[in-house]
Amino acid sequence: MIKYLLYALVALVVIIQFFQIDKTSLPSEEKKDFIALNHPPVEVEEILRSACYDCHSNHTEYPWYSNIQPVGWWLADHVDHGRGHLNFSDWGNYEEKKQKHKVTECMEEVEEGEMPLNSYTWMHGDARLTAEQRETLISWFNTLPHEEDH
């Protein structure tokens, strides 16, 4: 009986490999991108691209292990949720009030150590922010229009 369950499990694992995630970059206008519109210093741009843009833009670079299901499904779900909450590629489409709110949220998430997610930095060491990098981001976000109660 256990032997048949093991065969069924192996078959299931093989079958789900045929259901890959869509890794196509979504179309976006470069002129509406957060970085293009706000012109951060090079250091800030590098931090944003390494720690934020994989999940919060239309330019996700999926790692090799995204080809292994169900890991790929989990990653795609994370990216979908990240883009749904904040998409730097669509920044120019946000109303001013929403932009201010998102900048405030960015400051809070970075300050509280909530972003980037631990599950992301575990596999992407370059996305782990030092205290200095966090302060650099927060200070720069503070130069942008944001909600005054922060």
Q: What DSSP state is assigned to residue 39? A: -
The tens place of each residue's pLDDT in the chain, 150 residues long, gives 898 899 898 888 888 899 998 888 777 888 999 999 999 999 999 999 999 999 999 999 888 999 999 999 998 998 999 999 999 999 999 999 999 999 999 999 999 999 988 888 888 888 899 999 999 999 999 999 988 755
Model confidence, pTM: 0.85
Task: Look up residue 29 and give its two tokens.
Answer: 């206008």
Give SS3 for 112: coil
Domain boundaries defined on the chain: 2-143
The radius of gyration of the chain's CA atoms, rounded to the nearest angstrom, is 19
Report whether the peptide linkage leading into residue 70 is cis, meaning its omega lies within 30 degrees of zero.
Answer: yes
Contact 103, 144 (CB under 8 A): yes
